[in-house]
Chain A
């Protein structure tokens, strides 16, 4: 069982408080008694979709956007999602008062620096969702926080207005130039790192972006913390579907579960180019004839 009453995951039935549109995304607010006080920046929740007789059995995982442990409704949390398939389609039709089975908080949260060092937070699309709790936690430690948000187009950015309140600066990039600078987050990142003398880079977004952010961070001698996106069936470490090759402290690469060993990994530990493969030198790799 949990080491302390305020850690570890729990399963609760939440109730929908609100659903609102935000550009191309949806923001879902749920009651989630017990989860907010356990949640740390970078944690995620796994929601069952379609109700108790649903034919969609696999949980959908979402970074926690906000939590409130007190208030009229007790503990509440918010997640941001895009409609990708039948599960998120069902979620987008949720109404106030409907019940949703929630498991969380899950995963390992972002690691925070002990000292008040400058940090750059990089997000692609709605990968910005977990960055607000993170920015608050970093600022509470006296860290300077600069944000870089990128997306294909303006409607696929999330939380730009709010970002201005939590950061010393925000830089926006879009692929089509509809807002901010035309290009990718990694086009502007080196200059921002140099200007802020950043020691830590935090990133959440598509795997390709994470790989590039980790590379830039390492080139600048900074430490990176990347929230990976792997498809999961359970979110709690029992199905073994969400693995990726990560180098351990002993230098050995293992296929680790992004749900319980991540989703936050050191950028220089993930073998980005080998994701979706079994590298030859991975622990337990196939030998003679394979498997």
Chain B
């Protein structure tokens, strides 16, 4: 594996190695020049990362979930390293929607970066007010509705664990959002049947799905013999959760092949991103890997383009959901792999068991 080394002028290095694959994609109605985005909570509002790469070249900046009011978050320790991952219990620290719009979003707008705004609420009413507040704000690419943050006091607040509550939030956000702006529902993997939640939010008007949020986890410090995090439990992220994310996306895409998916959960390399795309993601977010490598979003995009070219794909979009297709006879050696587009008439009937992996 090679690793991009970003020195003084990353932009000069880009053109040289990027193969000719059309990397543009469409996520819901959102057209993106690159399928690689940042992940909510792993990029602040883009400004810090702009030191390391040109933030306008990636698909979009997905901002840290914002709430109505300023929020201090949880006490420290907020973080524990785990094998190929980490636990966090930040607790949605943030400046509140007014400061966010005035400072963070305004900076992104002036910088010319595409912004997917992530919102989080403690009640359906808060989500509604956030959506209304964003309704007349120009230059928002999409809204990601974080209904799945595990770092809240009450697990009952995790809307994404209940199909009815999840649908209520999404329906209200959709109603209060300008029709042209896609609404993505961010789902939790900590559910018995993620397909049921996906169907509920799509039925409520979600234009797309973001999968997956962190998994609820816990570390006990064996020296203090107490929980390592002040918040006791936290969200597990990083490559450790990647197989869970790929499974969730595969299952949902099998049942809802026409619903666009923004995939995330442990993507560190271009090959990792490719797994998500083959499983059914129309775009991907790079999250925790950015803590390890601040240039990860651009590096992953570059590696993904190479990985697609090596497999004979001329267009990124041809690879979406490829893992679901019936294997074709092998192409002639050195030839282009046969690529079948997703049938737009694909049924989403429950009886469709192509993706069924349950026992």
Contact = CB atoms under 8 A, between A and B. Distances in A.
Interface of A: 1-2, 5, 8-13, 33-34, 48, 52-53, 55-59, 101, 103, 230-231, 233-234, 236-244, 254-255, 260, 275-278, 282-286, 289-291
Contacts of A244: 76
Contact of A241 (B3, B8, B76): B76
Contacts of A8: 51
Contacts of B70: 283-284
B315 interface: no
A282 B64 CA distance: 20
B72 A278 contact: yes
Given A55-B84, A57-B85, A291 B44 contact: no
Nearest to B122: A291
Interface string B78-121: 11010111101011111110000000000000000000000000
B48 A237 contact: yes
Nearest to A238: B44
Interface string B115-155: 00000001000000000000000000000000000001100
B218 interface: no
Nearest to B69: A284
Given A283-B70, A285-B72, 11 more contacts: A5-B8, A12-B5, A58-B291, A233-B79, A237-B48, A239-B79, A275-B76, A278-B73, A278-B74, A283-B72, A291-B153
Interface in B235-288: 238-239, 288
Nearest to A11: B6
B311 to A, nearest CB: 22
A289 B289 CA distance: 34
Contacts of A290: 153
B291 A289 contact: no
Interface in B54-78: 64, 69-78
16 contacts: A52-B1, A57-B239, A103-B52, A233-B88, A233-B291, A237-B48, A239-B88, A243-B78, A243-B93, A255-B93, A275-B76, A278-B75, A282-B72, A283-B72, A284-B73, A284-B94
Contacts, number: 145
B295 interface: yes
Given A10-B6, A233-B86, A286 B72 contact: yes
B352 interface: no
Contact of A10 (B7, B72, B75, B289): B7
B71 A237 contact: no
Q: Which 8 A-B pairs have the closest CB atoms?
A: A284-B70, A241-B79, A234-B291, A284-B72, A55-B84, A237-B48, A57-B292, A284-B71
A241 B74 CA distance: 10
Contacts of B79: 58, 231, 233, 239, 241
A228 to B, nearest CB: 11
Contacts of B3: 13, 52, 101
B323 interface: no
A57 B50 CA distance: 21
Contacts of B42: 238-239
B49 interface: yes
Contact of B78 (A52, A58, A240, A282): A240
Contacts of A291: 71, 74, 91-92, 122, 152-153
A100 to B, nearest CB: 12
B290 interface: yes
A161 B234 CA distance: 45
**A interface SS class:** loop
Contacts of A33: 7
B183 interface: no
A59 B292 contact: yes
Contacts of B217: none
B78 A241 contact: yes
A276 B88 CA distance: 15
Contacts of A1: 50-51
Nearest to B84: A55
A231 B291 CA distance: 13
A260 B45 CA distance: 14
Given A233-B291, A283-B72, A284-B72, A240 B90 contact: yes
B93 A284 contact: yes
Contacts of B64: 240
Contacts of A276: 75-77, 230
A53 to B, nearest CB: 7
B294 interface: yes
A200 to B, nearest CB: 28
A233 B74 CA distance: 16
A230 B75 CA distance: 12
B212 interface: no
B290 A234 contact: yes
B81 A57 contact: yes
Contacts of B72: 254-255, 278, 282-286
Nearest to B80: A231
B154 to A, nearest CB: 8
Given A55-B83, A243-B78, A291-B122, A103 B294 contact: yes
Contacts of A9: 51-52
B153 A57 contact: no
A285 B73 CA distance: 8
B155 to A, nearest CB: 13
Nearest to B10: A11
